Structure 1
Amino acid sequence: MTALILLSGIVLLGASVQWLTGMGFALVAVPALILLLGPAQGVALANCAAGAISVVGLAGGWRRVRPAAMVPLCAAAACTVPAGTWVTRQLPQPLLLLLMGALVTVAVALVMRGARLPALHGRAGALTAGAVGGFMNSAAGVGGPPVSLYALNAGWTVREFVPNAQFYGVVVNAFSVTANGIPALNAGEWAAAGGAMAVGGVIGRAVGDRMPDRHARRLVLLLALTGGVTAVAKGVWTL
């Protein structure tokens, strides 16, 4: 029962965050999910949940998707997803925890600094962000930060970023689910996760109407940073 309550709470928080910002389920939820379910199952569940939330979110904003940027992003991600899956299958669990926690922590730090990187400009930047994001999404469930950095360097507004992030989330998580498989949850765990996603969506929309974008963004990054550092500490402890 305790595990079900923890699972529901993690998924609810991640879903609320994704509805607030257009991206962020994995950043917030993955560190906790891998501690609760293990790296492979935690990442697989994050891929499924983030992809499903992105499908629903994209329904109302697909007309604002920018094909010129998203096609190279998604094509590059498709090429690197298998590499991320292969890496996770070669490493023992403590090293996986270290890898995933480190990826989350570094990615959050770069986004918090608002890093301006020449490598993320133009078509080459889209390919770079997509390739790194695809690898990170299948390896650690967190493919969003490279896309966030690309959007930051391209000067996108939040209104422009959200539908494109949702589109990327649909595509890259579909690739990742194909590579990583469906998580082996029982019926009760699936029900808990599904119910938490629905409730999280309601909460995220309600809070999103009242919370300024900068506050929502700061909350997501602080939660993600805490989770990433915790995963690193757990990996070090179990080595």
Structure 2
Amino acid sequence: MGTVAIIVAAILVGTVLQRISGTGVGLVVAPTLSILLGPALGVLVTNMTTVVSGFLIMIAVWSRIDWRRFWLIGPAAILGAIPGALVVGALPPGWLSILVGAIVVFALLVTVGMRTLPRVDGNPIAMLSGFVGGFFNTTSGVAAPVMVIYSRLARWQQLRFAATLQPIFMTMGAASVASKLATGVTADAGGADLHLGWLAPGVIATVLVGIAVGTWLGTRVPVAQARRLALLLAALGGVGAIVRGALEVI
């Protein structure tokens, strides 16, 4: 019950933050579940959650989605998921946990540290961002920092960026799960005594509650504050995943 409670809390907090700022589920859920369930299963559950949260939030922000950019980023993300799944299948759990934590911490440091970026836009940079994001999402469950960096390079308007992230995250999550199924990674993703039959409806119910709470808080909590909280929680989880992996390796 303790494990289930932590999973529910992580998904709920991540969904609330994602509804307010556009990002949050991967940032909060992936490192938390990687520590709790192991990196393979933790990231897999995160990928499943992003499919649900991305789809449901996408419905709420449909009118603001930039579909032109989505069709550049989404297919490239699907391609990036394939080598990501191969990396997940090749690494032992300890090293995979270290990789997950390192990607999260490095991406956050780059996101926070690169305040001023030159303007670089166009189809190639959008597709490259999608490919790298798909790879990161599959290996670590965290693609938001990659997309934030791209939005700064492209000077993407915040409301349209946050809305377009939802179908992007949904696509990345589906591609990650599919690529892991195709490469057999999910067969080795055990390690937690979970009632998996209840996982999908539990995730959907938690995401729906998170969207409702996030919608209510959206007019009361500044976007920048929600994003800072998501980054802080992600950093703590990333460091925890590195420590967990190092203890396993040692």
Contact persistence 1:50–1:173 (CA under 8 A): yes
Q: Give the alignment partner of residue 208 of structure 2, picking from 198, 206, 211.
A: 198
- The code of the aligned residue for 1:214 comes to A
Gaps of 5+ in 2: none
Aligned-residue offset at 1:192: 4.2
Tell which deviates more after alignment, 15-24 or 87-96: 15-24
Gaps of 5+ in 1: none
For 1:59, what is the secondary structure of its paired residue?
helix
For the pair 1:221 / 2:231, whether they are aligned, the reply is yes
Contact persistence 1:74–1:171 (CA under 8 A): yes
Identity %: 31
Aligned-residue offset at 1:117: 5.3
- The code of the aligned residue for 1:149 comes to I
Aligned-residue offset at 1:118: 5.7
Tell which deviates more after alignment, 62-71 or 167-176: 62-71
How far apart, CA to CA, are the structure 2 residues paired with 1:220 and 1:120? 26
Q: How many residues align?
A: 239
CA gap 1:170/1:188 in 2 versus in 1, 3 angstroms:
closer
Structure 2 partner of 1:92 = 92
Structure 2 partner of 1:231 = 241
CA gap 1:131/1:201 in 2 versus in 1, 3 angstroms:
same
Task: Show CA shifts across 1:34-82 (max 9, x none).
Answer: 1112212111111111111111111133333223322221121111111
How far apart, CA to CA, are the structure 2 residues paired with 1:118 and 1:209? 32
Contact persistence 1:31–1:230 (CA under 8 A): yes
Contact persistence 1:116–1:153 (CA under 8 A): no
Aligned-residue offset at 1:113: 2.3
Tell which deviates more after alignment, 83-92 or 65-74: 65-74
* Root-mean-square deviation over aligned CA pairs: 2.1
For the pair 1:38 / 2:48, whether they are aligned, the reply is no
For the pair 1:22 / 2:32, whether they are aligned, the reply is no
Task: Show CA shifts across 1:184-237 (max 9, x none).
Answer: 752344454343323222222222220111111111111111111111111112
Contact persistence 2:74–2:172 (CA under 8 A): yes
- The code of the aligned residue for 1:217 comes to R
Structure 1 partner of 2:154 = 154
How far apart, CA to CA, are the structure 2 residues paired with 1:207 and 1:77? 31
Structure 1 partner of 2:103 = 103
How far apart, CA to CA, are the structure 1 residues paired with 2:174 and 2:199? 21
Task: Show CA shifts across 1:103-154 (max 9, x none).
Answer: 0111111221245556953222112211110101111111222111111111
CA gap 1:120/1:179 in 2 versus in 1, 3 angstroms:
farther
How far apart, CA to CA, are the structure 1 residues paired with 2:115 and 2:125? 13
- The code of the aligned residue for 1:82 comes to I
Contact persistence 2:119–2:153 (CA under 8 A): no
Contact persistence 1:119–1:125 (CA under 8 A): no
CA gap 1:35/1:155 in 2 versus in 1, 3 angstroms:
same
